[in-house]
Structure 1
Amino acid sequence: MTEDFTGKKETAAAWFRTLRDRIVTACEALEDAADSDARFESTPTRRTAPDGSDAGGGLMSVLRGGKVFEKMGVAVSAVHGTLNPRAQAAMAARGVPGMAQDPRFWASGISLVAHMQNPHCPAVHMNTRMFWTPGAWWFGGGSDLNPCIVYPEDTIHFHAVMKAACDAHAPDYYPRFKAWADEYFFVPHRGRARGEGGIFFDDLNTGDWEADFAFVKSVGEAFLPAFLPLVARRQATPWTEADRETQLVHRGLYAEYNLIIDRGTKFGLETGHDANAVLMTMPPIAKWP
């Protein structure tokens, strides 16, 4: 790949940071409305290369103990370096052009997970990212809803917003990426999905960087209108200790998925990114049956 991607990298990284700021502001406003002074605490993160040199970093923002969010984490990063042999071999096996010869990479993205105080409010996940190597570039990400108490109308709303975001770019994106999410967010050892699904995509490169980046921005912009109305609908619902038990057991399923299956968790830990930032998405309290 001979094209200089410096400008495109900077544009993508700046967008992810802007989206982070918008989401943090909107979620703190929910805490304000609930008479809570809970705020995100932000910590810079760094990636350290195997030789000890600096390899980029980002910002990890975590809100704990709010009246709406028991824990919500939003992280952005832009990292670079050389993939270790195992990660390099895995990408080469996926068919990434030139990866067998040149293990350099650059990646930037946003990732978030919200774990709610009220068991009737659904947990939610979203991430979008851009990945570059000397031989290829692509986008990936998605968003999925993870209620412990399922309300079909909430699921319908969430999927409708995701579908609209997809339909604005290609008529086959939503059915393709919904099916991909159904497969990707499945927990084989439990024989069930971790939630109500959403969309998931990876290796997105149509050959038109601007068009693909526009789609990724649409996915990010869809998060707040997909999620905030559900919080407004469920936040005041009375809940019982039995509801709380259901929530904590469901969080156990979520934790199992993140630690055993999630490719983002594996990639972050294998490539030396800040472990606290990688594991930021873990629930604050969980139970197992």
Structure 2
Amino acid sequence: MSDDMAEQKATAAAWFRELRDRIVTAFETLEESHVEGPLSDRDAGRFDVSETTRASQDGSDAGGGLMSVMRGGRVFEKVGVNISTVYGVLGERAQAAMAARKGLPGMAEDPRFWASGISLVAHMQNPHAPAVHMNTRMFWTPHGWWFGGGSDLNPCIEYDDDTAHFHATQKQYLDPHGPAHYPRLKEWADSYFHVPHRGRARGVGGIFMDDYCTGDWESDFALTQDIGRAFLPAYLPLVERRRATRWSDADKDTQLIHRGLYAEYNLVYDRGTRFGLETGHDANAVLMSLPPLAKWV
């Protein structure tokens, strides 16, 4: 591995940590601003932070990360913001999947890998406030490197102006990289977050890319950073707008049923979930995305 790539890996991992810190601070600030009870209640709405590890078959260091989860907040019923940097050797199933998807027939001869990224899922107390998912990541093997990720909005009660703001903000951050990026990544998200057995989308879409590599690391990393930077301005205004909306038992029922759809997608189709579990990463961190409560009809 070249010195340049070692530096690029460190730069990417540091950015994912910086983005994590920004989001955690913003979410805790939002919770603090929603305090209406006595002072003792201010202890609610904080993230519990723990270290995670990846298990390697030979017991060697395989990396890990930080799992930050808030449960039972006033605004967030459950939200997780995880980062990890893991490395080692891909197992046979992961090698086969990588070789097939990327056209890398040499994976079996040299199956080393390195991956770093941030993953976020927020499930809200108020059914009118939308759930959301965001992740960005960098992946490396001796056969190449690439970036991936995006963010998508998952409201159980849809508002056209919320959807419009979410998409317009992402477009604003992507357009400096070229006008073709937003429509392409939007279409990619619409395809990726489709739930085939339900014949519908998981939510109202967003942006997404996978296995993204133009050969220009600096340019691709800058695009990945702006996908991350777009998240808070795209999402926080929607929560501010909806968090105090009055809701009924029927609204909560709608929310729980929609969460069932979200859980189905993540357990059946999401490649990140499968990769995390197959490569030995902390199962609690991998499954952090699941809602605290869900319902099926």
Q: Deviations over 1:146-195 (max 9, x none)?
A: 00000000000000011112111121111111111101000000111010
- Please, which runs of 5 or more residues in structure 2 have no aligned partner? 36-41
Q: Deviations over 1:47-67 (max 9, x none)?
A: 011122220000000000000
Identical-residue share of aligned pairs (%)? 71
For 2:104 and 2:140, the matched residues in 1 are separated by 10
CA deviation after TM superposition for structure 1 residue 4, in Å: 4.5
Report the equivalent of 2:73: 66
CA deviation after TM superposition for structure 1 residue 97, in Å: 6.6
Report the equivalent of 2:218: 210
Report the equivalent of 2:13: 13
Report the equivalent of 1:284: 292
Query: What TM-score, normalized to structure 2?
Result: 0.95
CA contact (8 A) 1:98 1:134 kept: no
Report the equivalent of 2:283: 275
Query: What TM-score, normalized to structure 1?
Result: 0.98
2:53 to 42, 46, 55: 46
Residues 31-180 of structure 1: matches in 2 within 5 Å?
Answer: 31-35=31-35, 36=42, 37-94=44-101, 95-96=103-104, 98-180=106-188
CA deviation after TM superposition for structure 1 residue 276, in Å: 0.3
CA deviation after TM superposition for structure 1 residue 98, in Å: 3.5
Query: 1:169 is matched by which residue type in structure 2?
Result: H
Residue 245 (1) aligns with residue 260 (2): no
For 1:247 and 1:138, the matched residues in 2 are separated by 35
For 1:149 and 1:138, the matched residues in 2 are separated by 35
Deviates more, 1:39-48 or 1:4-13: 4-13
What secondary structure, in the 3-state scheme, does the structure 2 residue paired with 1:5 have?
A: helix
CA deviation after TM superposition for structure 1 residue 219, in Å: 0.5
Query: 2:82 is matched by which residue type in structure 1?
Result: A
Detail structure 1 runs of 4+ shifted over 3 Å in the superposition.
1-4
For 1:147 and 1:45, the matched residues in 2 are separated by 30
Residue 195 (1) aligns with residue 203 (2): yes
Report the equivalent of 1:266: 274
What secondary structure, in the 3-state scheme, does the structure 2 residue paired with 1:73 have?
A: strand
Aligned length: 289
Task: Supply the RMSD in Å over aligned alpha carbons.
Answer: 1.1
CA deviation after TM superposition for structure 1 residue 237, in Å: 0.5
What secondary structure, in the 3-state scheme, does the structure 1 residue paired with 2:134 have?
A: strand
Query: 2:161 is matched by which residue type in structure 1?
Result: E
For 1:27 and 1:81, the matched residues in 2 are separated by 33
1:168–1:116 Cα change, 3 Å: same
Query: 1:177 is matched by which residue type in structure 2?
Result: L
1:3–1:206 Cα change, 3 Å: farther
What secondary structure, in the 3-state scheme, does the structure 1 residue paired with 2:62 have?
A: strand
For 1:166 and 1:104, the matched residues in 2 are separated by 32
Q: Deviations over 1:240-285 (max 9, x none)?
A: 0000000000000000000000000000000000000000111000
CA deviation after TM superposition for structure 1 residue 38, in Å: 1.6
CA contact (8 A) 1:97 1:136 kept: no
